[in-house]
Amino acid sequence: MSDKKKILITGASSGFGLGASKALAAKGHVVFASMRGPAGKNAAQAQALRDFATQGQHALHIVEIDVTQDSSVASGVEQMIAAVGGIDILINNAGVGTWGLQEGFTPDQVKNLFDINVVGPLRMNRAVLPHMRRAGGGYIVYVSSGLGRIQFPFLGPYTASKHAVEAIAESGAYELTPQGIDTTILQPGAYGTSFLSNSIHPKDGALIEDQPAVKAMFTAFAGGFEARAKSGQLGNPQEIIDALVELVELPKSDRPLRKTVGADVQGPVRAINERCAEVQGELLRMFGIR
């Protein structure tokens, strides 16, 4: 393809990151799929990606990055720079969910969650942005969530982390736009991935046993989620993979600040986005930024 991009994706061992890595490489882009433990816990996933690359003759590479470790992030980014000379697009996808009574999560659990979901993208940005500036531009995509705008019970710490990602991404976008670096926040709805099974559960999970009314609410919510999954009412993860490919291939002038994907979030989340954009515009003008 004529407009081949050099793309770094975090959290590429499963879910959206894995699917997007393969789809973008198949489209002719140069993709560095990063993950923890490609020679250890994720060895099988890393090898499957290598096999995919070999069979299709795709420019798909595996790089080890743990977004919670400064040295790992720096090393992974430098490996990509040394191999292909730059990074056009960073997709901040690595993340983990939570599922359970908010009171049951320990402070250390929540700290660890924020280290991955919120500080992780900041580490990645600090490593990548100097290279983008030297190149005269770039593009950062954050895989956020519809839960970055709305709330449900039993998802509190995760929701808080995605609200934080939304704030960091938008605030950073104002600072990066004058440097020729674009930002998009992708907001998926609920999808039939391994989100719940891979989520962090509260260490003090037994607390809910002393709260029968809350336990009944949790049981009903979990049952409703499971029923929607079994009946096919959750979205197809391919929608998010397709959205990431679409964003990568958009002309620079068409890159949106936010993109909402999923039937369950299109109405409520887009409505919040539109109103917030109006308010933000007024505030920025008030302080002379626009």
Which positions are catalytic? 158
Sequence-distant (≥ 6) Cβ neighbours of residue 8 within 8 angstroms: 32, 34, 63, 76, 77, 80, 87, 89, 90, 91, 124, 128
Nearest CA among 72, 33, 67 for reference residue 49: 33
Instruction: Give the whole-angstrom CA distance, residue 132 versus residue 125.
Output: 10
Nearest to 239 by CA among 156, 124, 121, 146: 146
Hey, what are 143's tokens? 């895989």
CA dist 123 and 65 (Å) reads 11
Q: Are 35 and 48 in contact (CB under 8 A)?
A: no
Identity of residue 72: S
- The rounded radius of gyration (Å) of the Cα atoms in the chain is 19
Contact between 186 and 244 under an 8 Å Cβ cutoff? The reply is yes
Backbone angles phi, psi at 194, to 5 degrees: -90, 30
The amino acid at residue 137 is: G
The SS3 of residue 33 is strand
